[in-house]
Amino acid sequence: MTNKRLIVLTGPSGVGKGTLVGSLLQRHPELCLSVSATTRSPRPGEIHGKNYYFVDQQRFQKMIAADELLEWAEFATNYYGTPKAPVEKLLAEGKFVLLEIELQGARQVRKTFPNALQIFILPPSGEELERRIRGRAQDSEEAISRRLQRARDEIAAKNEFDIQIVNDDLETALAEIEKAIFSVDK
C-alpha cells in the first residue's frame, strides 16, 4: 500500500472518535468505515453488521487463528478486531477506508500498512475526558477507572502518529481531519 487511502483514527475512549467518524461519513460518502468485530454486548441502538460484528469469544478466537483479522486487541475485558478481507477489497477498489481503532490495533496496522495515514485524537484535557466518560453513564466506577488509566497510557503514545488533533471543537477537529485525509491523495 503506497498511498494514504487507509486512514487509522485512534485515541482514548471518550475522546469523541465515534462522533468525528459519524460526521466525516455524512460529509464524505467516498469514505468507507471498516466494521470491526467485537465480543462485547451491543449497546442500545447498535446493529450487528453496521456498528460491529458481534461475535462470541470462541468465534473471535477462530478468526485470530485463521488470520482473518488485520488487527485485534483486548480492551476493557472484551476483544475487538478488524476483519481483513473487507478492508483489502475496498482498498483494491481504490476507496478511502477509515479504521476507528485503539492504540494496540493501530500499531499492528502500521506493521502491515506502514504508509497508512495515522491520526491520533486527543481530549482538550484529562478533566474533560473524565467528564465525557462519566457522562455516558454506561460504565461502573471500576470500568471508568480502567478507561482513564488506559487513556493516560494511550495519550503517552500520541507522537507515534502522523498527526495529533485535539477534539475541543467538533468543527475545527473535523476540518483538521479532512485536510489531513484529502490533501495527501490529490
* Distance between CA atoms of residues 68 and 88, nearest Å: 11
> What residue spans define the domains of the chain?
6-183
- pLDDT of amino acid 146: 83
Give the model confidence (pLDDT) of 120-149 as tens digits. Answer: 999 998 888 888 888 777 778 888 888 888
Name the pLDDT band for 177 (thresholds 50, 70, 90): very high
Cβ atoms of residues 83 and 35 within 8 Å: yes
Q: What is the pTM of this model?
A: 0.84
Residues 6+ apart with CB under 8 A from 156: none
Give the model confidence (pLDDT) of 16-75 as tens digits. Answer: 898 999 999 999 999 999 999 999 999 899 999 988 999 999 999 999 999 999 999 887
Q: Work out the widest C-alpha separation in the chain, in whole angstroms.
A: 46
Cβ atoms of residues 110 and 7 within 8 Å: no
Superfamily of domain covering 6-183: P-loop containing nucleotide triphosphate hydrolases (3.40.50.300)
> What's the N-to-C CA distance of the chain in angstroms?
16
- pLDDT of amino acid 4: 65
Give the model confidence (pLDDT) of 88-108 as tens digits. Answer: 999 999 999 999 998 989 999
Cβ atoms of residues 35 and 53 within 8 Å: yes
